[in-house]
Amino acid sequence: MSYVVKNLAPGEEILFQARYHWVRFVPGASVAALGAVLAAASGLLLPAASGGTESGLRSPLFVVAGVLFLAGVLGMAWRALVDSFDEFAITSFRVIKKSGFVTRTVRQIPLEKVQDVNVRSTLGGRWLSYGDVELQTAGSDSTVVFPRILHPEEFRNVLFTHTRPQTGTDGLGGPSATAQPSRASVEERLKEAERLYKTGVLSEAEYQEKRQALIKEL
């Protein structure tokens, strides 16, 4: 079970899960292809006749070609292993970025903290549908980057769709300040704020601030 699925809060749903584009395998694949081309060229251009200079060059070239091919394959395997530990997701409550092979780093950004989303793609990235997504958030570490992910525009569109404020609601799904909330609805929102705090979506300071504001409505 993935980290995102295992750590969903009650009532939380996954809206979008991003994954890396295969372009991240290009460096390793290029080295492996160079080794294969070198092996083929040495076999075609340098005959195996004994006693000649060509025969003396053929074996070292095959060794170099083999090393290059093996290095490329191992590079791709390593990239696949390391990338398999990274997870990117947008849920109904937050944006999650979990990365790290030896040490784990997890960023969880509440949707209401997302201030701007930028997509950066090269010409090749636009053709192949990949790019970097940069999130501008409220906080000290204000920029979160999702590098070389597949379909970055879809990531941005899903995030924009679910971070737009809904008419007549606050950040916890209750009525806005212009509406007159009932005592029951305020109590439900207090419970929701406490649940979000316990699951790590809200910091202690944010929870206390939200709690005081809701208590004043009672």
Mean pLDDT, to the nearest integer, of 86-101?
Answer: 92
Strand order, beta sheet including 114-120: 114-120, 130-137, 143-150
- Whether 28 is in a domain gets the answer yes
- Whether 43 is in a domain gets the answer yes
- Whether 213 is in a domain gets the answer yes
> Structurally, how many domains does the chain consist of?
2
Expressed as residue numbers, the domain containing 198 is 167-218
Whether residue 57 has pLDDT greater than 80: no
Domain-terminating residue out of 83, 101, 121: 83
Mean pLDDT, to the nearest integer, of 17-42?
Answer: 92
- Whether 139 is in a domain gets the answer no
Whether residue 181 has pLDDT greater than 50: no
Domain-terminating residue out of 83, 113, 132: 83
- Whether 102 is in a domain gets the answer no
Cα dist. 64→26, 69, 121 in Å? Answer: 20, 9, 36
- Whether 4 is in a domain gets the answer no
Summarised one tens digit per residue, pLDDT across range 183-206 is: 557 777 777 778 777 777 677 877
pLDDT of res. 102: 84
- Whether 172 is in a domain gets the answer yes
Cα dist. 51→48, 61, 76, 148, 174 in Å? Answer: 9, 17, 39, 52, 87
Q: DSSP for 23-67, please give it.
A: GGGHHHHHHHHHHHHHHHHHHHHS---TTSHHHHHHHHHHHHHHH
pTM confidence score: 0.65
Domain-terminating residue out of 83, 98, 130: 83
- Whether 156 is in a domain gets the answer no
